Amino acid sequence: MSIKLGDTAPNFQAESSLGDINFYNYLGDSWGILFSHPADYTPVCTTELGYTSKLKSEFDQRGTKVIALSVDAVEDHQSWIKDINETQDTNVEFPIIADKDRKVSELYDFIHPNASATATVRSLLIIDPAKKVRLIITYPASTGRNFNEILRVLDSLQLVDAHTVATPVNWENGEDVIIPPSISTEDARKIFAKGVTEIKPYLRYTPQPNI
């Protein structure tokens, strides 16, 4: 199964480091991040999970739940979490799915045979409260993910859902945003009380509306 942007994220039932999980029930009405790991006790994954754990307050502020996946057993996960906590100076509280039979990995297309016949690639999905897939990023197994970028994209997605705007290149939370071409400049001046800066008729900026 190949999942694309805008698809409904498939539900699943699986064992995890925190017990049996129904994915939809776990997410509830929250945003979600599902990210896969090639295997337990791997150095890159250890740093990723540790850093993600340290971002708990950031994800909480954004109403977002995190869930990881690795193709090893629950017992391995629980032992590995102890290593992560020790080496990364953190306390992992989010669940790690035990996907020994690779059912979830295959459901989400996390195994790319040309890269590895058995290990998952380093994929990450952002899923909105309607269970729609809003972001898919896939890294090679050797490259750690940039979770500051994940937070940036999450901020952008939540902003554009709440306001009719888009975010420009390298945008960071708090910076000016772009007014979509579907809104005329005349209407934009009525909608965006903080003002409109027109560079070209199709390129117009306004201060971020929610701050």
How would you classify residue 150: left for phi > 0, otherwise alpha for psi between -120 and 50, otherwise beta? alpha
Of the candidates 164, 161, 157, the one whose C-alpha atom is nearest the C-alpha of residue 180 is: 164
Which ranges of the chain does DSSP label H, i.e. alpha helix? Answer: 23-27, 43-54, 56-61, 74-88, 103-107, 147-162, 185-191
Give the CA angle between residues 106, 123, 74 to the nearest 5°: 65
From 9, 21, 33, 45, the catalytic residue: 45
Identify whether the C-beta of residue 177 lies closer than 8 Å to the C-beta of residue 168: yes
Clarify whether 45 is annotated catalytic: yes
Identify whether the C-beta of residue 133 lies closer than 8 Å to the C-beta of residue 9: yes
Which ranges of 17-131 does DSSP label H, i.e. alpha helix? Answer: 23-27, 43-54, 56-61, 74-88, 103-107
3-class state of residue 14 by DSSP? strand
Residues catalogued as catalytic? 45
